[in-house]
Structure 1
Amino acid sequence: MSVDDTVLGLWDALSQRDWDAVKTFLADDCIYIDMPVGPTLAARGPDDIVKRLKVGLEALAKYENHPGLLVGNGSDVMFEHSESWAWTTGETAELPFVSVHRVVDGKVTLWKDYWDFNAILGSAPASWMDDFAGADVSWVFDATDHI
């Protein structure tokens, strides 16, 4: 599988919220970081990365990834795309993203998402941040020294 196919396959699985399929694209030591919140709240490994992704995405009524520009440089790929989020309470958000991936031997080893945290805060229901207070945070990994 090519580097591009790996990245696009990952995003297709995520768009479907097929958590088992998402894991198949991630290396055992893959690091995932939402850059707006920084490397101290990263996740490492397929199981913990999926736990982290579920915190934000699992409760949504609808989630969809819209592919855009994919630019590669060997094992490194930048993917400009957007996501549609819809909550069960009716709020919606269209979020532009740039994701940076490193792919080695057909698996993503590093995944960094760049997006505007304030854009989601302005669109999400008031209870959205409160929901994080009770979320499973067993996935937290400090990646400061790993990126």
Structure 2
Amino acid sequence: MITALSPTDLVLQFMKLMEALDYDAGLKLVSDSCEYTNPPPLGTVRGPAGIRAVLEPFFAPTRENDFQILRAAASGPVVLLERLDRHLFGDKWVELPVTGVYEVHDGKITYWRDYFDAATIMSQLPAA
């Protein structure tokens, strides 16, 4: 008998796949109508293709990613993750504190919103 993942376990699995930049496997856990929102200027996109269009260019120059889950909480289908997202650009680690809100229905992420201070990461990025 196959048991469905809990919303928290599904989101944690998703984050592990995204940390490894395994877009094909990770985005299978996202519904076609998923709404993904980041702070301005990034805004909101929808579905796996929209998420990939935002994340792939950002992560392209990273050599490694390390998503540290500091705290997780859930209430029914809603999952909250407090994270420290670490990205290796060249030989420099860039760290960004993030709080993510996810909603899971029928085994897929249907809502994902990340809260962070964009200036925090922009001030750490290497010069282009």
Shift of 1:37: 3.0
2:51 to 49, 52, 69: 49
Higher relative contact order (CA 8 A, sep 6+): 1
Relative to its length, the structure with more helix (as a share) is 1
Structure 1 stretches of 5 or more lacking a match?
A: 128-147
Structure 1 residue ranges, 4+ long, deviating more than 3 angstroms after superposition: none
CA contact (8 A) 1:22 1:50 kept: no
Relative to its length, the structure with more strand (as a share) is 2
What does the per-residue CA deviation read over 1:37-96, in whole Å, with 9 as the maximum and x for residues that have no partner?
Answer: 36xx321111221121112112212211111211111111110011111212x3321111
**Where does residue 116 of structure 1 map in the other structure?**
117
CA contact (8 A) 1:36 1:115 kept: no
1:31 has 2:31 as partner:
no
Shift of 1:33: 0.8
**Where does residue 73 of structure 1 map in the other structure?**
75
Instruction: State the TM-score, normalized to the length of structure 1.
Output: 0.79
Shift of 1:118: 1.0
1:62 to 61, 64, 73: 64
Percent sequence identity over matched residues?
28
Secondary structure, aligned partner of 2:10: helix
**Where does residue 3 of structure 1 map in the other structure?**
7
Instruction: State the TM-score, normalized to the length of structure 2.
Output: 0.90
Count of aligned positions: 124
Task: Please give the root-mean-square deviation of Cα atoms over the aligned residues, in Å.
Answer: 1.3
Structure 2 stretches of 5 or more lacking a match?
A: none
Shift of 1:35: 2.3
